């Protein structure tokens, strides 16, 4: 156990993390710069841009707490550098634990259990990395083709309503996918979803009835916090 953790927490792993996160920060700065230039070209006011940035920052704060919890869960087993890398780029706790456990079982042991050494650690890491690259690969190599075909089909149809219907259908299906699991599983997942939805409705009523427009910037964050609190209370 100690041998593989010495490798997992070695300085070389930390160097790799710093280099990779440096690339991510560079990409983010490029996207922000180009987005601001595009917004100015479209005539979007500085006030709207600042409000969008503020709302995006607030709505990103609460989900970041879950990432910190996930990091504290994964780090004792997979080491801090690799866990930090995964959760800073694309990973989620549910996927990372599932993929790491599949890799460990393929090596004939359980994740973090007796006999979990360097070989099992490598199997877990490879399973997590290769598994997540499937969707990335499809996006990198197939999205441009899909987008061109879709645009040609919509242009050929000549009816702009189809594009609105398609976007609405995608959004509804995406949310339905996240709602189906709590409904099917019940328990804490269902309670969290219902409480969060109820708090969002109540905040919306406050904004509308009491004219508290400033509250709209915090609506999603508040509903997340209330849902998390409900999950904690229900679990006890």
**Which pLDDT score, from 0 to 100, does residue 133 have?**
82
* 176 and 198 share one domain: yes
* pLDDT of 20 strictly over 60: yes
Q: Which tens digit of pLDDT belongs to each residue from 173-184? A: 888 877 887 888
* 86 and 125 share one domain: yes
Q: Please give the structure tokens belonging to residue 121.
A: 């650690």
**Which pLDDT score, from 0 to 100, does residue 157 have?**
66
* pLDDT of 47 strictly over 70: yes
Tell if the pTM clears 0.85, that is, is over it.
Answer: no
* 120 and 187 share one domain: no
* 63 and 176 share one domain: no
Last residue of a domain, one of 110, 134, 158: 158
* pLDDT of 15 strictly over 90: yes
* 88 and 177 share one domain: no
* 26 and 125 share one domain: yes
* 130 and 229 share one domain: no
Q: Determine the Cα–Cα distance for residues 155 and 178; give it in Å rounded to an integer.
A: 32
Domain coverage including residue 192: 159-236
DSSP type of residue 116: -
* 127 and 60 share one domain: yes
* 20 and 114 share one domain: yes
* pLDDT of 1 strictly over 70: no
Last residue of a domain, one of 137, 158, 179: 158
Q: CA 124 from chain center: how many Å?
A: 21
Q: What is the mean pLDDT of residues 14-25?
A: 90
* pLDDT of 160 strictly over 70: no
Domains in the chain, number:
2
* pLDDT of 3 strictly over 90: no
Q: Determine the Cα–Cα distance for residues 50 and 8; give it in Å rounded to an integer.
A: 41
- 159 — pLDDT class (breaks 50, 70, 90): low
* 80 and 194 share one domain: no
Q: What is the mean pLDDT of residues 160-185?
A: 79
**Which pLDDT score, from 0 to 100, does residue 30 have?**
94
> CB neighbours of 41 closer than 8 A, spacing ≥ 6?
none
| Alpha helices per DSSP H over the chain | 2-8, 11-41, 46-78, 80-89, 93-106, 118-157, 160-185, 187-209, 219-235
Mean pLDDT of the chain: 83
Give the H/E segment covering residue 44: none
**Which pLDDT score, from 0 to 100, does residue 2 have?**
53
**Which pLDDT score, from 0 to 100, does residue 50 have?**
85
DSSP type of residue 216: G
Check: CB of residue 102 under 8 Å from CB of residue 120: no
Q: Give the residue carrying structure tokens 């089909």.
A: 153
* 92 and 164 share one domain: no
* 12 and 109 share one domain: yes
Last residue of a domain, one of 100, 124, 158: 158
């Amino acid at each position: 156990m100690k041998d593989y953790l010495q490798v997992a927490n070695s300085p070389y792993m930390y160097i790799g993390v710093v280099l990779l996160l440096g690339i991510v920060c560079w990409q983010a700065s490029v996207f922000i710069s180009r987005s601001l230039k595009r917004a100015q070209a479209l005539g979007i006011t500085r006030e709207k841009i600042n409000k969008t940035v503020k709302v995006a920052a607030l709505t990103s704060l609460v989900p970041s707490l879950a990432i910190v919890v996930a990091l504290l869960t994964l780090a004792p087993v997979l080491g801090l550098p690799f866990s930090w890398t995964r959760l800073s780029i694309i990973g989620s706790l549910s996927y990372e634990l599932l993929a790491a456990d599949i890799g460990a079982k393929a090596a004939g042991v359980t994740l973090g259990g007796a006999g979990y050494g360097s070989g099992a650690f490598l199997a877990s890491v490879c399973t997590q990395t290769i598994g997540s690259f499937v969707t990335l690969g499809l996006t990198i190599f197939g999205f441009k083709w899909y987008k061109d075909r879709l645009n040609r089909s919509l242009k050929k149809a000549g009816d702009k309503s189809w594009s609105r219907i398609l976007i609405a259908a995608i959004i509804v299906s995406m949310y339905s996918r996240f709602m189906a699991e709590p409904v099917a599983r019940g328990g804490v997942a269902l309670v969290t979803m219902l409480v969060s939805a109820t708090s969002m409705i109540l905040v919306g009523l406050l904004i509308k009835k009491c004219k508290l427009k400033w509250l709209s910037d915090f609506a999603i964050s508040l509903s997340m916090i209330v849902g998390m609190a409900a999950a904690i209370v229900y679990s006890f």
